[in-house]
Amino acid sequence: MQSNTSKPDFSVPQEELDKQAQYAAMAESVLQSRFPDRKPRAFVHTYGCQGNVADGEKIKGILESLGYALTDEIEGSDLVLYNTCAIREHAQDRVFGNVGKRKAWKEADRSRILALCGCMMQQEYVAEKIKKSYPYVDLVFGTHVIYKLPEFIYRCLCDGKRVFDLSGGDGNVVEGLPVHRDGTFKAWIPIMYGCNNFCSYCVVPYVRGRERSRDFDTVVAEARHLIAQGYREITLLGQNVNSYNKDKDPSLRFPALLRAINDIEGDFWIRFMTSHPRDCTPELLDTMAQCEKVAKHLHLPVQSGNDRVLRDMNRHYDREKYLSLIDYARQKMPDLSITSDIIVGFPGETAEEFDDTLSLVERVQYTSLFTFIFSPRPGTKAAELPDPFDRAEKNRRFKALTDLQEQIAGRRTAAMKGERFCVLVEEPAKEEGFLSGRTEGNVIIEFPGDKSLIGTFRTVEVTEPKTWVLKGKLIDDKD
Ligand code: 5AD
Ligand code: SF4
C-alpha cells in the first residue's frame, strides 16, 4: 500500500509500454502490406492551447513510427485525426462542423480512418454524441491514452469495429514517446499535465485530470538536447507551471527548473506558460529577473478585476494581491512585458463589476490581452449559476475591453519608435520581402530581410509603430 509520505507515481507500467511497442510493429506491417507502393498518409489537426499542440506533436511522432507520412492534404489522406479542445463551446462547434464535412471522404473509401481525440473527447456526453450521430467516426480516445495509439490504429485496421477509449481518470505521465516537432527553432516542453485548481468556469481539471509533474532531470535533459540541436526558444508548458513539483519534490520547484535550464550553454530564450497568480511568488519573479535567458515576458491571467467575481471564479487571489505581484515584477524587471487572459460576462457580473476589470487593465498597462466571453461548460460550477445578462450586453462589454486594450497597446508601441530590440526571426511576413520577428516581450516586428535569417536572433529598430504589428529595419552588426 502507498504510504502518505511516498511520492505519487503516475508512470504507466513498462509491460503496458512493451505491449504498445508490439502493437506498433503489427500495425506497421499491416500498413506495409496495404500500401506496398507508397506510405499511408496522415492528416493531423490540433485545436486549442499549446498543451494540446504538444500532444499533437506526440501523436504525429507515433503515427510516423507506424509508417505514416504526415500530409497537409486532407482529401488525399488515409487517416484524418482531429485533436480537439473543450475550453469554449465555439471550439467544440468547429470540431463538429469539420467532422460533418468528413462524411463524404470516409464514404468514398471505408478503409480510411477518421479519428478524434483530445480534451473534447474526454467528456462523456461528447463521446456519446459521436457514437450516436457520427457513425462514420472510427476512433475516439481521450487525453490520457495517447500512448495507446499503436493499439488503436491496429484495431481499426484489423478488427473492423469502432474503437472508443476515454479511460484515464486522474491521468498519467508517459515518457519516451516519439515526438514530431513542428518547429525547427522553437520547441514546446510540457513540464506538467493536468490541473488541481478547479476555477469554477473551467473544464480543464475534468478533462486533463490531476496535476502531475514530469521528472526534473528528464525535463532538463530534454531542454539540453533541443538546445544542442539548435533550438532557439524553449517554452515550458503547464496549466499552472508555478505548482511544478508541488506533488513530487518541493526542493526542485519551478524556479529551480528555470535556473537549471538557464545554466545550459547556448544562445536561446526560455518562455513559460501559464502562471496562475495564486502560486506566482516573489521567488519566481526574482528568478526571472536573475536568469538572463528567461524572456522578460509574463503571462499572468487575471480573468477579472473584481473581487466578488474572482471569488466566484474560485481563483484564490484578489485584485490587491494581483496588483502587488505586478508591482513587484515591474520593480524587479522594469522592461517586463505582461499579458493576460480575461473573461467577460461571468455569470452575474454587473456593469460596476466589469468596470473594475477595465480599471485594472488601465492600471496594469498590458502588452496584449486574450479576451473571452464566458462560455458555460457542462459539469462546471459556473455553468449552474444564474446569468441575468444577455449576449448583447456581454458583447458590448467585450468591445469596451478590446477598445481599451487597443488604445493601451497603441500607446505602448508608439513609445517603441526608434528603439532597438533583439528579435527571434520566425517566418516570412505577409508583405513580400518582409520577415516577421518576435521580441522577448512577445511583440511582433516586421522588417525587410532575407529568408535565410529565419531561426536566428537579430537586432531590429522600430521605424513605424502600429498597434499590433510594428514595422522596423534590420540593424547590421556594424551599426
Ligand atoms: N469561458 C470563457 N473563457 C474561458 N477560459 C477558460 N474557460 C472558459 C470559459 N468557460 C479562458 C480563460 C483561460 C483561457 C485559456 O481560456 O481566460 O485563462
Ligand atoms: Fe488546452 Fe484546455 Fe483546450 Fe484542452 S481544453 S486543449 S487543455 S485549452
- Mean pLDDT, residues 262-271: 98
d(CA 152, CA 211): 26
Nearest Cα residue to 420 out of 401, 397, 447: 447
Task: Say if ligand 1 is within 6 A of residue 112 CB.
Answer: no
Q: Under a CB-based contact definition with an 8 Å cutoff, are residues 437 and 458 in contact?
A: yes
CATH of the domain at 409: 3.30.750.200
d(CA 172, CA 169): 9
Q: Are strands 337-344 and 79-84 parallel, antiparallel or unpaired?
A: unpaired
CATH of the domain at 93: 3.40.50.12160
Q: Are strands 269-273 and 233-237 parallel, antiparallel or unpaired?
A: parallel
Per-residue model confidence (pLDDT) at position 250: 86
d(CA 460, CA 476): 9
Nearest Cα residue to 113 out of 76, 81, 73, 88: 81
- 152 and 283 fall within a common domain: no
Q: Which atom of ligand 1 is nearest to the CA of 274?
A: 18
In total, how many domains does the chain have? 4
- 230 and 245 fall within a common domain: yes
- 89 and 119 fall within a common domain: yes
Q: How many CB atoms lie within 10 A of CB 132?
A: 8
Q: Answer yes or no: is 173 within a domain.
A: no
Per-residue model confidence (pLDDT) at position 479: 54
- 28 and 149 fall within a common domain: yes
Which of the 8 DSSP states describes residue 303?
A: B
How far away, in angstroms, is 196 Cα from ligand 2 center?
14
Q: What is the pLDDT of residues 94-135, one digit of tens each?
A: 999 999 999 999 999 999 999 999 999 999 999 999 999 999
Q: Under a CB-based contact definition with an 8 Å cutoff, are residues 257 and 244 in contact?
A: yes
Measured from the alpha carbon of residue 300, the closest ligand is 1
- 396 and 445 fall within a common domain: no
For the chain, what is the total number of helices (H) and then of strands (E)? 14, 19
Does the pLDDT of residue 4 top 50, yes or no? Answer: no
Q: What is the pLDDT of residues 273-324, one digit of tens each?
A: 999 999 999 999 999 999 999 999 999 999 999 999 999 999 999 999 999 9
Last-in-domain residue among 414, 433, 451 = 414
Coil, strand or helix at 363: helix
In DSSP terms, 192 is beta-bridged to: 213
Q: Which atom of ligand 1 is nearest to the CA of 49?
A: 15
**The one-letter amino acid at 307:** D
Task: Say if ligand 2 is within 6 A of residue 237 CB.
Answer: no
Does the pLDDT of residue 69 top 60, yes or no? Answer: yes
Percent of all residues in the chain with a pLDDT value above 90, rounded to a whole number: 92
Q: Under a CB-based contact definition with an 8 Å cutoff, are residues 176 and 159 in contact?
A: no
Q: Answer yes or no: is 273 within a domain.
A: yes
Q: Answer yes or no: is 49 within a domain.
A: yes
**Distance between start and end Cα atoms, the chain:** 67
Q: Answer yes or no: is 3 within a domain.
A: no
Domain containing 374 equals: 323-414
Last-in-domain residue among 165, 195, 214 = 165
- 123 and 30 fall within a common domain: yes
C-alpha cell of residue 145: 491514452
Question: In degrees rounded to 5, what are phi and psi of residue 2?
Answer: -80, 130
- Mean pLDDT, residues 184-208: 96
Mean pLDDT, the chain, integer: 95
Q: Whose CA is nearest to atom 17 of ligand 1?
A: 341
Contacts of 186 (CB under 8 A, 6+ apart): 231, 232, 233, 235, 424, 426
Q: What is the pLDDT of residues 366-410, one digit of tens each?
A: 999 999 999 999 999 999 999 988 999 999 999 999 999 999 999
d(CA 40, CA 35): 6
| E strand or H helix that includes residue 469 | strand 469-475
- 272 and 382 fall within a common domain: no
How far away, in angstroms, is 145 Cα from ligand 1 center?
25
Q: What is the pLDDT of residues 16-36, one digit of tens each?
A: 999 999 999 999 999 999 999
C-alpha cell of residue 167: 479511460
Q: Under a CB-based contact definition with an 8 Å cutoff, are residues 188 and 50 in contact?
A: yes
d(CA 289, CA 285): 6
Q: Answer yes or no: is 305 within a domain.
A: no
- 389 and 427 fall within a common domain: no
CATH of the domain at 286: 3.30.750.210
Cell 513605424 maps to which residue?
A: 464
- 26 and 125 fall within a common domain: yes
d(CA 47, CA 457): 29
| 3 confidence band (pLDDT: 50, 70, 90) | very low
Q: Whose CA is nearest to atom 3 of ligand 2?
A: 85
| 240 confidence band (pLDDT: 50, 70, 90) | very high
- 159 and 26 fall within a common domain: yes
d(CA 72, CA 113): 16
How far away, in angstroms, is 299 Cα from ligand 2 center?
16
